[in-house]
Structure 1
Amino acid sequence: MSTEAQNDPASIALEALTESGLGSGVEVEAGGQDGTSARIEIPFDPDRIDVTTRNPTIDLVLSRAKSGAIDLEPDFQRKAGIWDNRRRSRLIESILLRIPLPTLYAAEDKDENWIIVDGIQRLTSIIHFCDSQLISKSPLALEGLEYLHDYEGLTFEDLPSKLKLRIRETELVLHVIRRGTPDPVKFNIFARINTGGMPLSNQELRHALISGPVRQRLRELALSQEFIKATTGSVRDDRMADREMVLRHLAFESIDVMTYTTQDFDGFLTDRMHFLNSLPESEFRVYAETFKQSMTDCHGLFGRQAFRKISREYLPRMPINKALFEAVSVNVAKLNRSEIEKLKIRKSDCEEGMARLMDDTLFVNAISSGTGDAKKVRYRFDRIKDMLMELAHA
């Protein structure tokens, strides 16, 4: 590839795919590496890794679900992977036929609750059939059974007593990563687990393993009209790419970017998600309002080209670039209202300024490959800041 081709945004802006094979609306980084892959820092202490295998009965699972000791987090389920009643019924049929079920995976929190990471659909289906009130559903009537046709249309309460008992006494296989195991190790283990044939994304892992208000907080901002308008509704939520973008903004908004030195970007995002989880609601509201105002201002300054590589020679619009999203949105959030109004008057100059940045090989590299690298983070933030301030004070 020629140097000119390498510097052309159109030649490097590939769009990530969702589980269903559709475009995610977000650019995938060159080489498939975004600097956020789960990693274990070496050396680590193997004695701190505590994984145990348990064989809870379905009756115990129902008991834990009733007491809130199992975190199924329905919002974590992938849209493309949500089971219909026929598939749920086939699972129940397998239990009645005493066919072993696939292994479940969970992490244990400080209160010894199980956070289910792999097997959510299976457990939800079992609970739906055995005690639908626990998940606020109407009773599940069996349908589409392959062998037990006599039970077609029956609910749990309709089954003979011996079959109810068979279900309740069925043992499941559950691998539990005990509390105290370091987060990077948990992430590394769960990153290797396939759910529906596709490995969990890093944000799906964070969402599964970090329970608390931060889940709803990120979801709320990802669904906000300000975010949707700024990204032209192009970021799909199948793999939680939208929530990761929100988290990236809040993570850098909460620190002095010029002091950012870590080389473990995924660990940085995990740490910042814990931080956001710990904030009182009143303090988080400040971050949330700043985020939404930044989205409004970014749309006002860059329109449909916001957070995308801009080429002066190629007409096709690029996918959203995550590194640009964080660098532009955080820098815009730090501008005062007077500076924003001056920049709005010079909207075309803002787009031209962004296009000029694409002539800077170092800048393009800083938003295209290994974007979690500390030097690249500081470089792209600094260049965006200089461009905005130059235009605001010209």
Structure 2
Amino acid sequence: MSADAAQQAWDRIDSWLGAHAPAYAMLNPPAPEEEIAAVQRRMGVTFPPDLVATLRRHDGAHEDFLLPTHDRLLGTRGCEERSGFLRGMLAEVLDADDEEDDEEDDDGAYWHHHFVQFASYDITADGLTVDCRPGTSFGAVGRFFDESGTDFGHAPSLGAYLGDVANSLERGLPFQGGRTWPVVSDGALEWDASERSHPEWGDPSDPPPSADDASLPALPPRGSEEPLRAVHVRKLGGLGALVATLPRETVATAAARQTRRLADETGLARYPEVAAALDALVGGRPVELTGTGPLGLRLRQVRREASAHHNGVRGQAVTCLVLLLTDLPHRALVRTADVRSRISPDWRAALHADLGSPPLPPEPDTAFWTTLDNPAIDAGRRSTGV
């Protein structure tokens, strides 16, 4: 929990942000030395050296800069206020008459007087916490959940935690080997949670099943989905504005490329019938889809097997391909982007590239979406849409 470990980690984090993301500017300047000391006196705790070093480096951050747990780094005032709020929550849990004794005996399973929250989820009371109790646990990093209490084991110290953040940024790997990846979008750092796509199951050499196989699910019929509403496109931000305004042919090309990426990532492209269809679509050639043809039978088989393997992403890849094959490129593109956002950390950059890498517009406002004139997208003025 040395101050040096935190300082070295911040050197690496600040350097990476300065080179890759203007989010660096969202980190605050250092906290005054006297304020760091005053907060500790008022709280009646001693901060670990790496928390002091962190506050000396950055007195918190604005809401747009988040740590991998999507918690915002707090400054001196934030640490005091959030920890004080949680002390109040603890007091409500404990019996008023025995409050002092209970606090002394409390093992910190929920909260403890000597815990300090140094990063906050903001929407709830959840957040990253450092243990300031004297003893062997001093400096350990955990996370508080308002429903279940404090869970330690996230890192032995704040310096180690920040070192893991720096490793993830520099190497482009999931944070602490989990599912959260660092991604730069529109010049800002984001942490995306990715699921495993399990592309390994299924034997592509097996012939398609017979059309007489009663266990095969049907393909989704055209028009079976709700209209593509603007709210779904809006979730893509500036990329959504491009999807809504670029020519339909450009969107169709991007949808084919995105579907190919998704099929590769989920193992759907391993099947020869699917690979041939995707090659044709990416090349701008038409592909016929029927429920009893080789491609349709293969997709129906994959839907059945995806359900049996509890592999939703491959099943959704089938849906995306069917949408594309039934000439619904906007739906296919938005659905594919939604699925890829959960399994691929670079999905935004790939989507932008597949759209032709045009300049990203500013984040569109409500007026943009309510006045959108695109027959493929229901902006709320129509009861139906394509």
State the TM-score, normalized to the length of structure 2: 0.26
Q: Which of structures 1 and 2 has the larger relative contact order (alpha carbons within 8 angstroms, sep 6+)?
A: 1
- Would you tell me which structure has more helix in proportion to its own residues? 1
State the TM-score, normalized to the length of structure 1: 0.25
